[in-house]
Amino acid sequence: MERSRIHEITDFGAPELDVYARLSERELLRHDEPLEGLFIAESPKVIERALDAGYEPVSLLLEPRHVEGEAKNVIARCDAPVYTAPLDVLTRLVGFQLTRGVLCAMRRKPEPAVEDACAHARRVAVLEDVMNPTNVGAIFRSAAALGMDAVLLTSGCADPLYRRAVRMSMGNVFLLPWTRVGDDWGARLHALGFKTSAMAHNGDALSVAGRRLAAEPRLAVVLGAEGDGLAPRTIADCDYTVRIPMAHGVDSLNVAAASAVAFWELGKK
C-alpha cells in the first residue's frame, strides 16, 4: 500500500472533505456538472460492490485502524486519497454514526436507456414516485434477491444512490441495471414485449400467485408511492391489475414489503 495516499485529518475545513461534511446529497448529485455527480458509499462490503459494478472512487474516509483492517482490500483497489481520523471525530465531521467506520466518495455513471437496462430482462420492477430512500433501498435489495432483472424509476422517486438507499440495499443497488424513466415508460416496455402489472387492491385484480402472470415471458411489476399507491391512470394503462391476498381485514402492505411478496411470486423462473 502506498502510504503517501494516507492523510490524517488535521484541517477540518479542507475542501477535500466537503463531499463528506458539507455537501447535501442533492449538491453531490450536481457536484461536477455537466458530469453525472457523486455519491457516498458506506462500509467495505458496499464499497466493494460499487467497485465491482464499475463505479470510480474519488476518495476514502475511515478510521485509522481500518487501514490495515477491514478496509485494506478496498484501499488496495482504489487509486484515490485516503483520509483518516478517530471514529468520534469522523462522526462529528460527517454528522452521523458511520457503519463499519468507512466511507467512499464515488463518481456516478451515466444512466442507461430503458431499452439497454431491459435488454436481457425477463422481469423488471417499475417504481412510481416512491419517495422514501429507505423504501427504495429495501426494494432494490428484494429485487436483486428475488428474481428481478432491472429497476425503472419515475422522476418522483428517491435517488437509489442516496446514502440511506445504498445502505438499506446493502449495496444491492449496484447489482441490477436501473434508470429513471419519463411518462412514456409503459409504451417503451410494450415495444420491448413486456406486459405491465399494476400492484393495487382493485376488486377485479388478479392474485399475485396466479399462473397467468407467471406464464408471461416478459413482465413488469409496477409499484406505487407510499400511502396513495399507483395513480389511477397508471393502473388503467397497465395490462393487469394484481393484488396480494390478505387476512384479518388488512388493506395494504408497506411498499417495500409488498415488493418482496410480488417479486417472490412473479420473479420465479
- Residue 244: the pLDDT is 86
Count how many domains the chain has.
Answer: 2
The CATH number assigned to the domain holding 135 equals 3.40.1280.10
- Residue 1: the pLDDT is 52
- Residue 10: the pLDDT is 79
Collect all residues with Cβ–Cβ distance below 8 Å to 236 and sequence separation of at least 6. Answer: none
- Residue 95: the pLDDT is 74
Mark whether 130 and 90 lie in a shared domain: no
Mark whether 78 and 150 lie in a shared domain: no
**Alpha-carbon 96 to chain mean position:** 20
Mark whether 36 and 10 lie in a shared domain: yes
Mark whether 140 and 255 lie in a shared domain: yes
- Residue 2: the pLDDT is 57
From 76, 107, 138, give the residue that closes a domain: 107
Mark whether 71 and 126 lie in a shared domain: no
- Residue 184: the pLDDT is 95
Mark whether 74 and 179 lie in a shared domain: no
Contact 75/67 with Cβ under 8 angstroms?
Answer: yes
From 107, 133, 163, give the residue that closes a domain: 107
Query: Distance between CA 104 and CA 60 in Å, rounded?
Result: 4
The parts of the chain modelled with pLDDT lower than 70 are 1-4, 32-35, 96-100, 203, 269
Contact 63/92 with Cβ under 8 angstroms?
Answer: no
Mark whether 188 and 232 lie in a shared domain: yes
Question: Domain residues for 259?
Answer: 114-266
- Residue 149: the pLDDT is 97
From 107, 136, 171, give the residue that closes a domain: 107
Mark whether 88 and 125 lie in a shared domain: no
pLDDT digits (tens, 9 = 90+) for 209-258: 888 898 999 999 999 988 788 999 999 999 999 998 888 877 778 899 99
Contact 176/153 with Cβ under 8 angstroms?
Answer: no
Query: Distance between CA 75 and CA 57 in Å, rounded?
Result: 10
Contact 93/20 with Cβ under 8 angstroms?
Answer: yes
Contact 150/124 with Cβ under 8 angstroms?
Answer: yes
- Residue 161: the pLDDT is 96
